[in-house]
């Protein structure tokens, strides 16, 4: 039995709340078990500088991820004092996830920046950031549509993310920290609404893994992300 008493394919309790930041064009607070992440989407009415310099058309979507100092058990220094390469890698992952489902031409010459700040970490923070960050982005797009800055919704489909892995010889979905820190195989999956994979991150922490194990984890993740996307739709309705 898992430490949380969940079944192998059972996810933690998930909730999302929108409108939690009155200044941001879109915001969403997600709670996945003990993990809590606040995602805000800010709209810049200009292209990023690199696109302007290269005379590119269309907009851009990017993301920044970070953890608050006491998001974890021992205080973590702020990134302004100590560069965190893990945060940078996760930021790029989140940005890629959003760009995979957005038509940049329909977004026009606008930039949407999604900030994902981990309030409390208990495993799966990058996946929670993708899932809630999408909701914040969708709200920011609604803001642009309401202002008449864009004519069509540039979002082609939803996207979400979930972790999965091998824990004590069992393949399990949505690892919490107690499982993640000792998992034999640790993986993260970003999946679109159409069931296609945007990104797969899988690492054999203690020993190599085979194709059959990876395929089973992908199937589990696909089902998990479908449930998360259903929740996204309810929150955005």
Closest CA to 119 of 30, 22, 38: 38
- Contact 47/111 with Cβ under 8 angstroms? yes
Cα–Cα nearest to 65, from 86, 46, 49, 81: 86
What stretches of 11-124 show up as alpha helix (H) in DSSP? 49-53, 85-99, 104-107
Cβ-Cβ contacts under 8 Å for 165 (sequence gap 6 or more): 171, 172, 175, 179, 180, 183, 184, 185, 186, 187, 217
Quick: pLDDT tens for 72-100. 888 887 765 556 788 999 999 999 999 99
Closest CA relative to residue 186, chosen from 200, 199, 203, 172: 203
The share of the chain scoring above pLDDT 90, in percent, equals 88
Give CA separation, 165 vs 122, 187, 216, in Å. 15, 6, 10
Please check the confidence at residue 226 and state whether its pLDDT lies above 60.
yes
Q: Is 85 exposed, middle or buried (0-12, 13-18, 19+ CB in 10 A)?
A: exposed
Size (the chain), residues: 237
More confident residue, 163 or 71: 163
- Mean pLDDT over all residues of the chain? 94
Structural domain spans, the chain: 14-236
Task: Please give the pLDDT value at position 76.
Answer: 80
- The residue among 235, 193, 204, 221 whose CA lies nearest residue 124 is 221
Task: Tell the CATH topology of 14-236.
Answer: Ribosomal Protein S5; domain 2 (3.30.230)
Q: Write out pLDDT tens, residues 166-221.
A: 999 999 999 999 999 999 999 999 999 999 999 999 999 888 999 999 999 999 99
pLDDT level of residue 1 (50, 70, 90 thresholds)? confident
Percent with pLDDT over 70 in the chain: 98
């Amino acid at each position: 039995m898992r430490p949380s008493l969940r079944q192998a394919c059972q996810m933690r309790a998930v909730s999302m709340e929108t409108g939690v930041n009155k200044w941001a064009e879109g915001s969403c607070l997600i709670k996945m078990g003990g993990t809590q992440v606040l995602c805000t989407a800010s709209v810049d009415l200009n292209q990023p500088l690199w696109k302007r310099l290269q005379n590119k058309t269309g907009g851009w979507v990017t993301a920044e991820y970070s953890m608050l100092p006491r998001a974890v058990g021992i205080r973590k220094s702020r990134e302004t004092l100590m560069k965190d390469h893990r945060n940078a890698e996760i930021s790029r992952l989140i940005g890629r996830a959003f760009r995979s489902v957005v038509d940049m031409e329909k977004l026009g010459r606008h930039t949407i920046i999604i900030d994902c700040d981990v309030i409390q970490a208990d495993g799966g923070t990058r996946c929670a950031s993708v899932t809630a960050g999408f909701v914040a982005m969708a709200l920011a797009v609604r803001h642009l549509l309401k202002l008449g800055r864009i004519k069509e919704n540039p979002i082609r489909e939803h996207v979400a993310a979930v972790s999965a892995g091998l824990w004590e010889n069992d393949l399990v979905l949505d690892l919490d920290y107690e499982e993640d820190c000792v998992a034999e195989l640790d993986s993260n999956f970003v999946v679109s609404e159409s069931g296609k994979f945007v990104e797969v991150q899988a690492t054999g922490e203690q020993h190599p893994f085979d194709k059959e194990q990876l395929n089973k984890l992908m199937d589990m993740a696909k089902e998990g992300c479908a449930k998360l996307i259903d929740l996204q739709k309810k929150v955005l309705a």
